[in-house]
Amino acid sequence: MQPLTIFGDSGSGNCLKVRWVAAHLGLPFTWREVDVPAGGTRTPEMLALNPPGRVPFVVLPGGEVLSESNAIIAYLAEGSALIPHAALARARMLQWMFWEQYSHEPAIAVRRYQLHYLRRDPADLDPRLEERGNAALALMEASLSKTSFFAGDTLSLADVALVAYTRMAHEGGFDLTSFPGVRDWISRVEDGLGIGPYQP
Amino acid sequence: MQPLTIFGDSGSGNCLKVRWVAAHLGLPFTWREVDVPAGGTRTPEMLALNPPGRVPFVVLPGGEVLSESNAIIAYLAEGSALIPHAALARARMLQWMFWEQYSHEPAIAVRRYQLHYLRRDPADLDPRLEERGNAALALMEASLSKTSFFAGDTLSLADVALVAYTRMAHEGGFDLTSFPGVRDWISRVEDGLGIGPYQP
């Protein structure tokens, strides 16, 4: 049987979530690098495997293909300490994971992509990206004034999902100096996952 | 102890998901109508309860507030037949729920909101909304050619999440006549949930 294969771009926070969780849990896996800016997700081979044409996706040992970063990490981490046992904490974890994909990633990761990869002029970007990204960071700062991680007082998949692009937010033109709680939390999550500070 | 209180706008698919699941499972609940287009989510009372300023959110019998439609329905349906028992089918369910919030709702629900509530001229809308909405419908049609529901051959929360705005897609200017598999699936989901066809 093939091991788990992760198809991802090492520059993408969504893809790194999957690699971090697999490595943290000690799951054997093969990483297949896919260059997103070069169109690597939309080759005939890739579209045949994964019709949405995005990464990450995984091919499981049984051959099934699973996509959506947060669904993949939920599957890989089932039964581990990264998913709280209590129903309400688990719901809180999912709440932040859905919020991440709807309210955080579409602002912070998208602005980073446009500035850092497409090298667009900040003046040409949709101003709502900056506004929504800062609103997302402010909501995170408020939540972290109550609990040290997003689903309570221990590291969970909510933190994995949220840290992915938050630690790269400066590449999207976001200034984390006004969010000290978020900065401290980034270090706690990096320590918990054993991934070290961000290095582009 | 208070029963479950659902804060929602009856015109919002995201809010209706929560009402359908609670009713389908026979959970006692109180519905508190919030008028989104009139700014009802951003009153001081609402923002104190739910800082993100969106609906739906619920107040649980113990007083905790939970937001994000798909996280709420996952919490309410835990242990029910709406969540598959097998790990891979459950992952597939979550995959489609995350996809719904990232790739479906931001096109189909957003275009509906602009046309149906804000009464904007179709010519003034971002053309990517139509393109992305049709791509989402095409991906659904392809998936429904393989299984009768999104997480396999039984109704799950993935279908609840996806049907919410798909059944209203015509109000967003989307034509479902080219997606016969999607239309048949809408009827199957409405039957399974016992909600009857869409009536604005």
**pLDDT score of A75:** 98
Same structural domain for residues A118 and A180? yes
Residue A160 counted as domain residue: yes
Inter-chain CB proximity A88 and B75 less than 8 Å:
yes
Residues of A within 8 A of B139 (CB-CB) are 51-52
Same structural domain for residues A19 and A42? yes
Whether the Cβ atoms of residue A137 and residue A162 lie closer than 8 Å to each other: no
Residue B39 counted as domain residue: yes
Enclosing domain of residue A60: 4-76
CB pairs under 8 A between A and B: 88
Same structural domain for residues B97 and B151? yes
Distance CA B109, CA A15 (A): 27
Q: Which of B95, B103, B129 to mutate to test the interface with A (most CBs of A within 10 A)?
A: B95
Average the pLDDT over B133-137 and give the result: 98
Residues of B within 8 A of A87 (CB-CB) are 75, 78
Distance CA A142, CA A170 (A): 20
Tokens of B167: 């059944």
Q: How confident is the model at residue A200 (pLDDT cuts 50, 70, 90)?
A: confident
* pLDDT tens for each residue of A3-58: 899 999 999 999 999 999 999 999 999 999 999 989 999 999 999 999 999 999 99
Residue B26 counted as domain residue: yes
Domain-terminating residue out of B48, B76, B104: B76
* Partner residue opposite A74 with nearest CB, options B64, B68, B94: B94
Inter-chain CB proximity A71 and B60 less than 8 Å:
no
Domain-terminating residue out of B42, B76, B110: B76
Which of A73, A76, A15, A72 lies closest to A41, judged by CA?
A: A15
CATH value at residue B68: 3.40.30.10
Task: Give percent of chain B with pLDDT exceeding 70.
Answer: 100
Average the pLDDT over B1-7 and give the result: 88
Domain-terminating residue out of B76, B96, B128: B76
Same structural domain for residues B98 and B58? no
Same structural domain for residues A20 and A105? no
* pLDDT tens for each residue of A137-178: 999 999 999 999 999 999 999 999 999 999 999 999 999 999
Using the Cα atoms of residue B159, residue B165, residue B166 and residue B168 in order, give the sign of their dihedral: positive
Same structural domain for residues A18 and A72? yes
CATH value at residue B148: 1.20.1050.10
Half-sphere exposure of A41 (CA within 13 A, CB side): 18
ipTM score assigned to the predicted complex: 0.97
Residue B107 counted as domain residue: yes
Beta-bridge partners for A66: A58
Q: How confident is the model at residue B1 (pLDDT cuts 50, 70, 90)?
A: low
Q: How confident is the model at residue A68 (pLDDT cuts 50, 70, 90)?
A: very high
Same structural domain for residues B101 and B42? no
Q: Which helix (H) or strand (E) holds A32?
A: strand A29-33
* pLDDT tens for each residue of A72-84: 999 999 999 999 9
Residue B198 counted as domain residue: no
List Cβ neighbours of B119 (8 Å cut-off, separation of 6 or more). Answer: none
Residues of A within 8 A of B97 (CB-CB) are 71, 98
* pLDDT tens for each residue of B154-200: 999 999 999 999 999 999 999 999 999 999 999 999 999 999 999 88
Average the pLDDT over A97-116 and give the result: 97
Q: Is B45's pLDDT higher than 70? A: yes
Structurally, chain B folds into a number of domains equal to 2
